[in-house]
């Protein structure tokens, strides 16, 4: 008989997600430390009363997210944590501006609850038309707009997102506090912005943007999907290794 308590959000969660969060919770709490072997798929299947195929999906996703390491013939082990070793540092734009000795402020353009499009649902791993939170914020440096942040957030990871004042704190600062970063996927491209983005950034017609598209992971799930638009003439990406 399983001694594992049922998840608080009940049957709405798929069984593999329940197992994934069970393993993740023990890693994050320190109960299972780096290098520790976790229970076998067979043992987890018995504990949760599910098929090994269901357990395999949970462990496979944790392995893809570099939270566990699967060793053929030996078992599955807690991976060495590498969450900070991303190619683009996850920085709060307000801190970035302050580091240059300049003044940051932001204007909230949109804060809403919406239904996920098919494309967004795939990025979040959710059902089509699942509910998401959506915000659009313009960030200024010395009163010049330098970024339009268009962000979608998973309500399961940050349920109080809509109640925040994003004039006094950035979405990034809030999410880093309530949804500890586990990983990030990103791409950077240069392209012409839609008219509404260009207008918010006070850009000339045909002036290109640098766009950072970023997906962050937390609590075993996709936490947010964001597009950050920057005028190419006023912004550059930097980094170090």
What pLDDT band is residue 238 in, cutting at 50, 70 and 90?
Answer: low
Residues 16 and 67 both lie in one domain: yes
| Burial profile 30-62: b = 16 or more Cβ within 10 angstroms, e = fewer | eebeeeeebbebeebbebbebeeebbbbbbebb
Distance CA 107, CA 168 (A): 10
Our count of domains for the chain comes to: 2
Report d(CA 163, CA 175) in Å as an integer: 13
Residue 87 lies in a domain: no
Whether residue 135 lies inside any domain: the answer is yes
pLDDT at 5 over 60: no
Position 106 in a domain:
yes
Q: Does 120 lie in the same domain as 222? A: yes
Residue 2 covered by a domain: no
Q: Is residue 239 part of a domain?
A: no
Within this chain, do residues 70 and 106 fall inside the same structural domain, yes or no? no
Secondary structure of residue 144 in the 3-state scheme? strand
In the predicted structure, residue 1 carries a pLDDT above the cut 80: no
Of 78, 113, 136, the residue that ends a domain is: 78
Predicted local distance difference test score (pLDDT) of residue 149: 97
- Same domain flag for 119 and 36: no
Among 28, 48, 78, the domain boundary falls at 78
Which residues partner with 37 through β-bridges?
77
Whether residues 224 and 151 share a domain: the answer is: yes
Whether residue 53 sits in one domain with residue 30: yes
The DSSP symbol for 37 reads B
**pLDDT single digits (tens) 80-130:** 654 333 345 567 889 888 888 899 999 999 999 999 999 999 999 998 889
Domain extent, residue 218, equals 93-231
- More confident: 19 or 85: 19
- Over residues 21-79, the pLDDT tens digits come to 999 889 888 888 878 899 999 999 999 999 999 999 999 999 887 788 888 778 898 88
Cβ atoms of residues 18 and 48 within 8 Å: yes
Where are the alpha helices (H) located in 13-51, listed in sequence order? 15-28, 41-48
Residue 237 lies in a domain: no
SS3 17: helix
Average pLDDT of the chain is: 86
Distance CA 200, CA 75 (A): 53
CATH code for position 140: 3.40.1410.10
Q: Which of 78, 105, 135 is the last residue of a domain?
A: 78
Question: CA–CA separation, 195 vs 184, rounded Å?
Answer: 29
Whether residue 175 is contained in a domain is answered as yes
Does residue 129 sit in the same domain as residue 221?
yes
Domain co-membership, 144 together with 171: yes
Kindly state whether residues 118 and 225 are assigned to the same domain. yes
Q: How do residues 21-30 score in pLDDT, each as one tens digit?
A: 999 889 888 8
């Amino acid at each position: 008989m399983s001694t594992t308590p049922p998840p608080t959000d009940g049957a709405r969660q798929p069984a593999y997600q329940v197992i994934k969060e069970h393993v993740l919770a023990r890693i994050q709490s320190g109960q299972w430390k780096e290098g520790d072997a976790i229970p076998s798929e067979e043992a987890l299947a018995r504990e949760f009363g599910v098929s090994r195929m269901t357990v395999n999906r949970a462990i496979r996703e944790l392995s893809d997210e570099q939270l566990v390491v699967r060793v053929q013939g030996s078992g599955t082990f807690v991976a060495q944590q590498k969450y900070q070793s991303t190619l683009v540092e996850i920085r709060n734009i307000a801190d970035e501006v302050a580091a240059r000795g300049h003044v940051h402020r932001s204007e909230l353009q949109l804060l809403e609850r919406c239904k996920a499009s098919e494309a967004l649902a795939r990025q979040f791993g959710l059902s089509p038309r699942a509910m998401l939170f959506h915000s659009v914020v313009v960030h200024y440096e010395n009163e010049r707009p330098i970024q339009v942040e268009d962000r979608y957030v998973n309500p399961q990871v940050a349920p109080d997102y809509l109640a925040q004042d994003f004039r006094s704190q950035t979405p990034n600062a809030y999410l880093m506090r309530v949804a500890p970063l586990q990983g990030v996927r990103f791409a950077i491209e240069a392209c012409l912005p839609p008219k509404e983005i260009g207008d918010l950034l006070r850009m000339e017609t045909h002036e290109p943007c640098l766009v950072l598209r970023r997906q962050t992971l937390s609590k075993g799930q996709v936490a947010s999907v964001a597009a950050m638009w920057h005028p190419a003439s006023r912004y550059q990406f930097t980094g170090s290794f």
